[in-house]
Amino acid sequence: MDTTEQLAKKLLVLMGGDGNISFVTYCATRLRVSLRDRTLAKKEDIEALDDVPGVVERDDTLQIVIGTNVGDVYDAFMKAWKTSENTGDGEGSSTQISGKKRDLFNQFIALVVSIFSPLLPLLAGAGLLRGFTILANQLGWLSTESTTNLILENAATAVFYFLPLLVAMTAAKRFNTSPYIAVAILGALIMPSFMELVQNDEGGNLISFMGIPMPVFDYTSQVIPAIIIVWIQSLMEHFMKRKLPHSLHMIVIPTVLLFVLVPITIGIVGPIGNYASIGIANAVGWLTGINQIITGAFIGGIWNILIMFGVHWAPNTMVIIPEIAETGTSALIAYGATANLGMAGAAFAVFLRTRNMELKGLSGTAMVSVFLSGIVEPAIYGLGIRFKTPLVAGCLGAALGGAFMGAFNVVGNAFVFGGLTTIPAFAGPTLWAYIVGLAIAFFGGMVLTLLFGIKDPEAEMYKKN
């Protein structure tokens, strides 16, 4: 096993050197690297590294699965990457790769990953605190009328109320613009005096700004307006820095941005983002309203495939996190959790049957990774893709668990990864059904893997009696 610094240096070399890197970010488990020339990267050699469970290739981007220590590897990688490229404008630009432009969907995934990844620990911690608080309420250990409960609720839900400000900060880093101005712009929309202008729960009533009618809405918990307006801010700020004398930057740029962008956010960007959020919420409501059992089975069954291709962050950031921020719960986060346990069950079956000690260690580690941290990539890439049948069995087991959860309308209270340590985040009337659903997914994945078997001789599986 290499040290973090050694691994980072090896990855840099195997991806074609520092001059071949155009942009780097990371999510919960993966280092995501955009390359200038994909042909210079040695994917097979990267996959052969002991510390890399798998690699996903999409267009000009390599998603290198690391695990929960990906943040440390990212820091080491950035230190090893010593060219000026890592401070360039790669934010959202279309880098030319072998005469083709980067796929827009891949750009979108890279964008949302870079914006939301820094917030994941906070979202998970706040969610668990909320789950523990709800559990204490239900067990009668904590009165819902007590000030202790009020403080704990505020601590757990503040992240969602002020989510536009947090997203503004991370988006500002992504777009290379001032995070302080970004927070000030979005903060104007959640000031108490602005909130008093919003009539009814939905808002939409008109106010006047310099004689121009503008609709007002409640923008707490919304993320789409924050991302759009910070991108516009970056364009304006970069333009003014190029055109204005340096002596005027400190005074003119913040003044112009606040004066122009706050009204633009209220009158144009905010309403667009609000209606987009409503559209997404209605689409989710329609999907879950068709038949909860079918929806649970579909989401549970397909989620590992989304993870395998690295596109699960689109529904995570555009659907699940906003839904939890807006309503406090999400059924989709529960259905997605079954995918983890389905693969954990498949890994346990491999652990029980294989005579290959290296594979036995890998499968045991993959299962524990799911239980303790909700990280499923080692099971997907180390076992599922490699031997095929564990992936099929894990997906089918997850579908069974998701269907069960759908039958009892299970919801989660926070954005967390499905595992044993995050169960409190699902505290509530349907907690029992969530636990049973996880068990169904786990044992379903295990039993189906045992039934399907693994024909690859490398697995050295014991024959069934």
Domain chopping of the chain, boundaries = 4-87, 162-275, 291-459
Class of domain 4-87: alpha beta
264-310 residue pLDDT tens? 999 999 898 888 877 877 777 777 777 899 999 999 999 999 888 77
The pLDDT of residue 437 is 96
Which tokens belong to 250? 């400190």
Beta bridge partners of 35: 21
Helix (H) and strand (E) counts for the chain?
A: 21, 8
Q: In whole angstroms, give the CA distance from residue 301 to residue 128.
A: 25
DSSP 69: T
130-168 residue pLDDT tens? 888 888 888 889 888 899 999 998 998 888 889 899 999
The pLDDT of residue 100 is 44
As a dihedral over the C-alpha atoms of residue 438, residue 440, residue 441, residue 446, rounded to 10 degrees, the angle is 130
9-18 residue pLDDT tens? 889 889 888 8
44-66 residue pLDDT tens? 888 888 888 888 887 778 888 88
What is the DSSP secondary-structure string of 131-172? HHHHHHHHTTSS-TTSHHHHHHHHHHHHHHHTHHHHHHHHHH
Catalytic residue among 11, 27, 341, 349: 27
Instruction: Provide long-range contacts, Cβ within 8 A and 24+ apart, for 174-178.
Output: 174/91, 174/92, 174/111, 174/114, 174/115, 175/91, 175/92, 175/230, 175/231, 175/233, 175/234, 176/89, 176/91, 176/234, 176/238, 177/230, 177/233, 177/234, 177/237, 177/238, 178/233, 178/237, 178/254
| Integer CA distances (angstroms), 400 to 131, 241, 308, 392, in order | 25, 56, 20, 13
Q: In whole angstroms, give the CA distance from residue 433 to residue 409.
A: 9
3-class DSSP state of 24 = strand
Q: How large is the average pLDDT for residues 366-392?
A: 86
List Cβ neighbours of 47 (8 Å cut-off, separation of 6 or more): 54, 55
Active site residue 27: yes
Which has the higher per-residue pLDDT, 145 or 111?
145
CA R_g for the chain: 24
Q: Where does 1-100 have alpha helices with state H?
A: 4-14, 43-47, 70-80
Q: In whole angstroms, give the CA distance from residue 135 to residue 131.
A: 6
DSSP 353: H
* Phi and psi torsions of 103, nearest 5°: -60, 130
Which has the higher per-residue pLDDT, 417 or 449?
449
Which has the higher per-residue pLDDT, 356 or 228?
228
| Integer CA distances (angstroms), 240 to 182, 250, 252, in order | 16, 11, 9
The pLDDT of residue 385 is 83
